[in-house]
Each structure stands twice: as structure tokens, then as C-alpha cells.
Structure 1
Amino acid sequence: MSSSHSQVGYLIPLNHNFEEEKQKASIPKLPISDGTNIIGRNNLCVTDKRLSRKHLTITASTDGTANLHVEGTNPVVVNSGNKRRKLNSKETVTISDGDVIELIPGHHLFKYQVSKRSSSGADNEARERGRNAATQKHDKIVATQKHDKIAVTQRHNYSRSCEEAIRDFRVADDQIPCTFRLLRVQGLPPWANTSCVSISDVIQGDILVAILSNYMVDVDWLVPACPALSKVPHVLVLHGEGDERVACIKRSKPKNWILHKPPLPISFGTHHSKAMFLVYPRGVRIIVHTANLIYVDWNNKSQGLWMQDFPWKDQHSLSKGSGFENDLVEYLSALKWPEFSVNLPSLGNFSICPSFFKKFDYSDAMVRLIASVPGYHSGNGLKKWGHMKLRSVLQECTFDEEFKKSPLVYQFSSLGSLDEKWMVELASSMSAGLSKDKVPLGMGEPQIIWPTVEDVRCSIEGYAAGSAIPSPLKNVEKAFLKKYWAKWKANHTGRTTSKEDLQGRLVFSA
């Protein structure tokens, strides 16, 4: 690693709390010798391809001073004292004893520690030269040290309090139906996945019928990832895949699976709705989520879902409906899947069609369903779908005072050809509703979360994550959109580098 054998210090691996591992670390500390030291994927023994084989070089002197030079294409962060500096490729900075290096921003943390023997000679000379000056400035130094200690303690406590809040967060069982859950992301510290779920947490139990609605479907990954699916006697997959992918799915899918691509009444677009409907002997589980049924979406991206279980209706309430039921059945009817008959043990024979889902009791639904279907809508159909449906629902709601002119955060994975008129129309729908004093909430300020090139490059997947952000440059670079742009930032949850992909989500935020 170095052309010299005189050891100057070490790079000591740290965890995400900037602490040394108390137990045996998976990565050993790296010796730093005087001269040029190459740090990269080879000598770190990690497989993260965001790290170059020659990621950076540290040129150290025998007194412990060193220069860090970024050799790879991805940025490096150096934390020195109170400052956090990002270095791009080919940039250089001087590092000192105790500085913390993030080889990838937020990941692969190392502390530069100078060996005592390397610094002792320089320390003695410095003490001799500065004895009188140190005496004269003693009071000032003490005051500065106290100030710095207080500032560092405050920052440390703030960071710890944020992380502790995440670590201690638990969702009570009775609150799960009204909670938006994040999906588990691989490679994050355990506390960052607190109360998160995987696909096997969602699809489980004695399922009798499963309807899986999605855009992309990878059967070769899905079945092993969800062993319960292979035991379900009746599975309907609603998808938006092209002809070539459909041919692959047909070769891989279990024989009892039915494939259906919902029809498109217009010449562009595709079926993109992500939901699951799982029928059990005791009722139905409905999941609305944001992830394609592919490995990277359920493991490498910040995705989310809502789910709730509903019981079968009893004989006295078969004709009783609800807003949620009407929304659900109306949307399922638009998908036009081929009906099929099933025999459910101890329950009887049923035809699986949209009206089948009227057999469940949604009176305890904690949400309203806002669906979108492709096409041009007018007349009575204008308020059935999309943001106009959302507007009609919110207009019936009363909100706390803090929601007046609440900011509107829009997040999606693809960006169409927007114009100012439509953005105002959308904001009007998102801002609908009254406060408790019966005053309209007022228009909130919209913000569009959209990743930068750097966000993509430094994400868990690296540049490969860019394939999940399909949008022509002419759509993104429209001048009027500049005032809406906002960045994804989630350091306190440990998810800044797991690219957000809460596609199709419009978040009404206080």
C-alpha cells in the first residue's frame, strides 16, 4: 500500500454513529505509512462498486500531517473539527489527527489517527517553542475550549436524539392500519430499518386468492422471495409489461397463475398501479405500495406501503357499503380482468370479479382510496379519478390550524410534460379542505423532490439507479419548474443514499 515502511498512523473504521466498533470490526484498521498510501476497494475487502480500486491516496509525513487526494469518480467527505467538506474527483485536502473520512458520503467511515510516536517529536518542539505564548493565552484557550466542547456536545446530543428517536420508534398493532410503512433497505444500519417491512412480511399466511397489480414483475425473484405465494391456489397478476417480458413471465410462472394486462384507452401510458389483494379464510388484506415486483425495488430503494385487513361481511350487512368500498370496486372494474371461478374451503364457490370485493366489511377503513386510470375524463367521470377525486375527498375534511397553507411535497419517479396551469390545478386540489374555524386552508407552496446527478451517483445502486427516473431532458429543464425543485435528504433516518422511489405519491404534509 505504501513505498515506505515507517508507520505514521491508522485509518480506523467507524460505525454510522462515528464510533469505533466495540466488538470485532468487519474491516480491520488500515496502517498509514509515510509516503503515498492507496485506499480503495481492493485493500478494504468490500464489494461496494461505488468505491474505486484506487479511490483515494493519502500522502503522509513522519510528523503525522497528510494530504488526501480523491482519485476515483465518486466524491469523498472529510469531517474536520466542526466542518464537513465534500471533495470531488481530483481535489485535495490536508487532514489531521482525528479527522473522519467518508469514502462515500454517509458510508465507509474511517478516522485518521496519528500514532503517538509519530507526533511526539513534533509535539515536544511545539511545546518548547510555545511555552510562553501558551501561558499568555491560557485564559483565551480555556474559554475557546469550553465553547467548542459545549458546541460539540450540543451537536452530538442533537444527532443522538434524532437517531434514538428512530431507534425507539415502534408502531402499536392497533395503529398499523393508519400508518404508512417504509420497506426494508439492505445495507442500512439496523436502526434505520426500524418498523420497516419486507415483501415476506406482507405476503404471508394461508392465502386463498392473490391478486397482484404492478407494472414490472420478476417471477424468478418473486416466488423465492415470497414462499407463501407458491402455495396460493389462485393467483391473478395484473401487469404493464411488454410482449417480450410477458413471454419470459409465461415461461417462469407457476401453471395456476393468470396474467392480464389492463387495456389502454389511449395510445400512450401503461398499467402502473401497485397493489395487492390477498383473500384469507378470515377476510382480505389490501396493500397499496410503491415498489415494482423486482429485487432492486424491494431491497435498494426507499419505498413505502399502506395495508389493512378487513373481515368478511356478516349476513346482516351484505348490502351495506362505504366510500372505500365504492372507490375500490369502481377502480377494479376499470381493469377489466377475465373473471374466474374458485372454490374456497368452508366458504363456498365464488366468481373472482370486482363485485366479489363487496363481500368484505370496510367500515373500519382508515384511509380513502384515490385511484387513477388512463384516458380523458369529463362529466360525472371528472371527479372519479386522480387529483380531482382527491379534491372532492379533501373538501369534506376538517384540519387543524397548522395545516393552513401547508407545504405540498410531490414525489414521483417519472416526470411528464407539465405546464404552469396544471401545476396550479394540482396545488388547488392538494390544498382543498377547511380548518376547524371553517376557513379554507389556502394554497400551499408546492415542492417537487427530484434527484440530482450526485444523488444518483452516491445512491446505493450508483448510476444504475438512474434507470428508475425516466424523464426526457426537455421535461426536466422547463424554466418554470426551477422554483419547485427540492432535494431528498434523510440523514436522520439513515436513508439519504437509498434513492427515494415513492412513485405516484403526493404527500400532504404539515
Structure 2
Amino acid sequence: MPRSQIGYLVAVNKNLEEVASLPKLPLFHGPNFIGRNDVSVPDKRLSRKHIALTTFPDGSADLLVEGTNPVVIRSGELRKKLVSLEKTAINNGDIIELIPGNHLFKYVSASTGEKKRNFSEANSNEQSPKLSGKKIRNQGPKNEETSADKLKAEDKDSNKEQNCVEAIRGFHVSNDKLPHTFRLLKVQGLPTWANTNSVSIGDAIEGDVLLAVLSNYMVDIDWLISACPKLAKIPNVLVIHGEGDSRLDLMKRSKPTNWILHKPPLPISFGTHHSKAMLLVYPQGVRVIVHTANLIYVDWNNKSQGLWMQDFPWKDQSNSTKGCGFENDLVDYLSTLKWPEFTANLPSLGNFNINSAFFKKFDYSESKVRLIASVPGYHTGSNLKKWGHMKLRTVLQDCVFDKEFRRSPLVYQFSSLGSLDEKWMAELASSMSSGYSEDKTPLGLGESLIIWPTVEDVRCSLEGYAAGNAIPSPLKNVEKGFLKKYWAKWKASHTGRCRAMPHIKTYTRYKGQNLVWFLLTSANLSKAAWGALQKNNSQLMIRSYELGVLFLPSRIKVDGPSREFSCTDKGGSSKGSGKSNSPGNPVPAMTKLVTLAWQGTKTSEVIQLPVPYELPPEPYSSQDIPWSWDRRYSKKDVYGQVWPR
């Protein structure tokens, strides 16, 4: 349920007059964070989360200073200075100076009756999302260039719009097919049809969880618990993160006492722990989730994201030592994270040492995907093909695909662009073009395109220019001449996500609306994420941790009913291994991976993947400019802002 709006902050000048050119910052019931991204002029004295405002239904609020610099509260004639971690109550009309004498805001509660129509609108299904950092500007476009007519240009063709709506409306996946595909995350501010079969964090973390391992880059514990209160009740939680020391101090203060925080080793400079995954242990088994969203508000509400999950049962005694490719890949990856081993008491199951080997206790034989991971290091010998793009190359080389996919094109779609060169792009394309057709001939190199938002995409997005904070690529990386031939547009009309900027990362090979394979991953297009070959191709150097799932055509039994194993389904499918219950010997058939726009007869072999963008991608025109976050943009966005603010 969306949180109700309690009030807003109004920017004022030193005479306490409203600054009409700056948008109001809406405040919702519960915690709200205000900081560096919410002021009109960049100021390094402000923290990313400078203050926390916790609002209550009666319009009152508590203010806590989260940043390192002091904040001043003015109430009538009184002036109170607060230092870091000090807290006070504030009331309607009080003035907040985020830095003493600078960045003044007036707190206005909804109970004053001002703009009540907007408050009711904020609670509708069409409510606008918060901005990156943190709060959305509660007003519409301010200039003619960003008029509603312009924003709706993508829907000029009503027939096309209807086809788009029907494409995702028809995306209904039965429980037995869920592990074969992935789902998009719900986005606030979209029409209901655009969120068909989409998921929230509460849809993923559900049921009687005994132990949770949450792997991510950015983690906002306060938001996480407010978005998924169940987490606070899980007895054992390990958070594997990539945050820096300043954020880590805040995380330590915010976390429940039973949570363990761990940052994996980063032996090579400029590396990050970037993998986004969850391992949820239940009495019945384990749920493995791989997704693309940081554990922060904007990533789960404002952006195009993807999530895959599958449940696996505990092994029985007869196969307690038997493994499979998925298990080996998972446990090998977990072992590199080197978290401190701890003991957990799992009710009705006993005491367990929680380390990477613990996850060998589950039966992954029915896994529907392959794991493609990256871990930092200089990988040689047998490890050369274990990680990064060399792992993808190795898996694809063992696959046989339909001959129609020979020399078919590739798409790279991501949200951060590294410093690349043509040699490395050829190296990556060689890995992504691996595989054979039925007559044992290689598929051959495919032409590659990069789907990347334009400046205009970001300017007119749900978040305006603020969306560019999460597309953090500098001019020096984006405007390399050789990249011009790769650029293609982010067009997502059929999923309703043209204005929901992508944080999802996907790589695929396709022909028409048929997919050779599809990778959902945390990995951006960079050498740090995918690795770069060195020493005459005998060594792969990777800087960062990444994790993705690779969807491939696979054999399924198409005769008779099949019931997928579930850790949470109380209807009975939590029993057994998840294998087909059909009698006799059903004939296996090869699955066919297709997009939502695919036209054909849907059979049990057809697996639709909700690829959020349109295929084939549309190349940039001469007027399109790829987004880079360190350029100045004077043309105002949908909230009347320029960039940088």
C-alpha cells in the first residue's frame, strides 16, 4: 500500500518567502530522508541523508540529524541548533535550516488544509514516485517544452498503444513456469496495466523465513524494514553489502541487533561488491532470488528493474552428496565472499553453521537457469573460465541453438558505462556470440547494439534529471567516437516503462521476437564487471563481484500437469521435488524463449520473458545525445529543474 502524504517542505528565502521556482518536497507517513539531492545548489556540507523526518497522521513530525554538520530549527522566535544524532519535534510552520543560515525549508502539514486535492491524488494508484535521493517534486511540468502533449508523444498511435497494453496484459505466468522467466518490479506512477505480473519486495520476501542472506551494493536499512516489516522478525539475517565507511556507521546504528553486516574483500582497486541477490531459508527449503535493484526506495519504486526467483527443497539422505552445475556455481561464488561463519538455530531443523557449504544442503537439480558470476581477482588455469564473460562463453559453447540464429544480433543494456575500447568490445562480443547450431557450425559473431537512455529520455522521465543520478557515466566514457555505431534507444512502450529509467541490466541475442538466450544480471558494461583478458589471453582480471542468471532453451515435459516446488505455497506444492507428476513417460520438448511482443500460438514450450525494451532496438538519430551525468543541461525537466541542480 502506498504511504499517505502528511505534508511537505517548502523552500524559502532568508525573508521566509516561498521560492516559487523550487518544487515542494512531499513528506509521507513514516520516515523521510532529505539531503544533498534535495537542494537547488550542490553543497558538499550536506550528506546524502542529512536529516530524517518521521511524520505522523496528526501532522506532527520528529527530526533527527543524520549528517555530520549541524541543523537549525526555528519555531516562532525560538532558534535551536542540533548536532549529529540529535532529535527534536517540529510542528506546522517551523523553519529548517539544513546548514545554519543556508538551505531553508518550511514544514507544512496536510492538516492545514492547503493543497488537499494534491494529497488525495498522492494516494491514488497514479501517484508520482519519489525522486532519486529521495523525494519527488509534487508538481507537473512547468514549461511548454515538457508539456503533457510532448510526454505522450510515444502514444500518438492509438493502435500501437493498444497493442502495447495487450502485450503485457497477456503476460500471466503459471506457478510451474515462474522459474523459467523473470518479472519486472512494480513502478509507482504507471497505469495499472503496466504493472501486470510485476513484483514488489514484499512479494519476494514472504512466508516463514528462518534465515535471510541479503546481498547488495547499496542498503538503506530503515527503508528496507519499513518496506518489508517481515525482515525485522527473521531471527537470522546476514547483509552482504558494498557500502563505504561513512554509510556503514549509519547502517550499524540502524540495524536490528541480530543482523550481521559484512563487506566482502576487494583485493583490486576500484572494485565493488555489486551483486544483488537473496537467499531465504524456510522449513521446506531455500528461495534463491537474483535481481537488479539496490535495497533503497528509488530502486524498488521508480525504475525499470528485474527479478528472478526459484525455490529448492532440502536434499534427502539419498542425494545428500549429489550436486549439479547450479549448486557448484552458487557455492563456489558464496565461498569467495568470506563472511564470518555463524551458528543459527533453525526451529524444528536444528543448529547449523552458516557458511557457503551450508547451501549444499538443498537440491538444485530442477534449476531452470545458469548462474553467471564475477569475483575480483587475477583468474588463471581452471579458474579462467569460471567467472565473468569467460564463464558465459564456456556455458554458451556447450549449447546447441536453432540454425535461424546464425550471426543474429546482440543487445547490451545496462545503467553504467565503463571506460571501454574497441579491443575489449571485440573480446566481449566473442564470448556473447559463442554457441553452435544443430549442424555443429558456430553461430558466428553478431552485430552488437547498446541500449542507453538519451538526454531527452532522462529529462522527460518520471524522476526528471534526478534519474540521471543512477545512470552515472561520465562524458569521457560516453562520448568516445567508436561507440557511436552502437547506440540504440530505450523504448519500452509495450511494458509502459518509457519514462521509468532503466537500472535493470540485460544482455541478449535475438532474431525478431525470438531469443537465443537472455541474461539478467547486476553487471554493467565494464571491464571491472565482466573482466578483461591479459597475458596473451591466459589471465582474466576482474575487479568487482557481480551475479546474474542466464535463461537458455531447456527441455521440459509437456504432457500432463506439472507442479513446481514452493517454499510458501500452502496448497500442497511445497511437498516433493517439483518434478512432473504426470503418468507414463512424457515426451520432453525444447522450450522457446520469446518476448512479450511475440506473435504466435502459446503452448507449454513457449516461455515469454518480459524484456522491458523493444526489439529490434531503434538506433540513435543524429539529434539523439547519450546521457552523461557530468554535463550541464539547461533545458528544464518535467519538474522545472536544470542539471546539475
Superposition TM-score, scaled by structure 2 size: 0.57
CA distance, structure 1, for counterparts of residue 437 and residue 213 of structure 2 = 39
**1:44/1:271 Cα in 2 relative to 1: closer, same or farther (>3 Å)?**
same
Indicate conservation of the 8 Å contact 2:179/2:308, yes or no.
yes
Question: What are the Cα deviations for residues 381-417 of structure 1, in whole angstroms up to 9, with x where unaligned?
Answer: 1111011000000111111233222221111211111
User: For 2:291 and 2:334, how far apart are their aligned partners in 1?
Assistant: 16
Equivalent position of 1:160 in the other structure = 162
Q: Which residue of 2 aligns with 1:351?
A: 353
Match of 1:418 in 2: 420
SS in 2 for 1:387: helix
Asked if 1:257 is matched to 2:259, the reply is yes
Find the aligned partners of 1:264 and 1:333 in 2 and give their Cα distance: 14
The alpha-carbon distance between structure 1 residues 463 and 190, as it changes in their structure 2 partners (threshold 3 A), is: same
Q: Provide the C-alpha distance between the structure 1 equivalents of 2:347 and 2:139, rounded to a whole number of angstroms.
A: 57
- 2:163/2:494 contact within 8 Å kept: no
Of 119, 133, 146, which residue of structure 2 is paired with 1:75? 146
Match of 1:171 in 2: 173
* Higher share in helix: 1
Q: Which runs of 5+ in 1 are unaligned?
A: 1-41, 57-69, 77-100, 110-151
The AA in structure 2 aligned to 1:55 is K
- Structure 1 residue corresponding to 2:248, chosen from 242, 246, 264: 246
Tell me if structure 1 keeps the 8 A contact 2:167–2:494: no
Shift of 1:458: 1.0
Deviations along 1:5-58, one digit per CA (max 9) or x if unpaired, are xxxxxxxxxxxxxxxxxxxxxxxxxxxxxxxxxxxxx999577677977835xx
1:458 pairs with 2:529 = no
**Which residue of structure 2 aligns with residue 102 of structure 1?**
149
Identical columns (%) = 69
Q: How does 1:122-201 map to 2 (within 5 A)?
A: 156-201=158-203
Deviations 1:267-314 (A, max 9, x none): 212100000000000000000100000000000000001110000000
CA offset at residue 256 of structure 1? 0.3
SS class of match (2:372)? coil
Task: Give the AA of the match of 1:407.
Answer: P
Query: Is 2:301 the counterpart of 1:299?
Result: yes
- Distance verdict in 2 for CA 1:390–1:54, change over 3 Å: closer
1:14-413 to 2 correspondence within 5 Å?
55=142, 70=144, 74-76=145-147, 102=149, 104-105=151-152, 156-413=158-415
The residue type paired with residue 420 of structure 1 is E
Q: Is the 8 A contact 2:373 2:388 kept in 1?
A: yes
* Number of aligned positions between the proteins: 383
Counterpart residue identity of residue 374, structure 1? P
Paired with 2:201 and 2:163, the residues of 1 have a C-alpha distance of 30
In structure 1, what residue type is equivalent to 2:462?
I
Distance 1:443 1:43, change over 3 A: farther
Q: Which amino acid aligns with 2:194?
A: A
Q: Work out the CA distance in 2 between the residues paired with 1:215 and 1:381.
A: 25
Alignment partners' CA distance in 2, 1:441 and 1:191: 38
* Residue 189 of structure 1, CA deviation: 0.7
* Secondary structure, aligned partner of 2:199: coil
- Residues in 2 aligned to 1:323 and 1:477: alpha-carbon distance in whole angstroms: 40
Query: Shift of the alpha carbon at 1:231?
Result: 1.1
Secondary structure in 2 aligned to 1:217? coil
Aligned CA distance change for structure 1 residues 265 and 295 (closer, same or farther; 3 Å)? same
CA contact (8 A) 1:211 1:235 kept: yes
Distance 1:287 1:52, change over 3 A: closer
Q: Which amino acid aligns with 2:379?
A: H
Q: Deviations over 1:87-126 (max 9, x none)?
A: xxxxxxxxxxxxxx5263469x9xxxxxxxxxxxxxxxxx
CA contact (8 A) 1:182 1:303 kept: yes
Equivalent-residue separation in structure 1 for 2:169 and 2:140 (angstroms) = 34
Distance 1:429 1:444 in 2: 11
The aligned amino acid for 1:303 is: Q
What displacement does 1:262 show? 0.3
Counterpart in the other structure of 1:81? none
Cross-structure match for 1:507? 508
Change in CA separation of 1:465 and 1:483 when aligned onto 2, cut-off 3 Å: same
Give unpaired runs (5+ residues) of structure 2.
1-114, 123-127, 129-135, 516-645
Q: Tell which deviates more after alignment, 415-424 or 400-409.
A: 400-409
Structure 1 window deviating more from structure 2 (319-328 vs 454-463): it is 454-463
Q: 1:269 to 1:190 in 2, by over 3 A?
A: same
Query: Matched residues in 2 for 1:286 and 1:53: separation?
Result: 40
After TM superposition, the score normalised by the length of structure 1 is 0.72
Q: How far apart are residue 168 of structure 1 and its match?
A: 2.5
Q: Equivalents in 1 of 2:499, 2:390: separation in Å? A: 34
Alignment partners' CA distance in 1, 2:203 and 2:405: 34
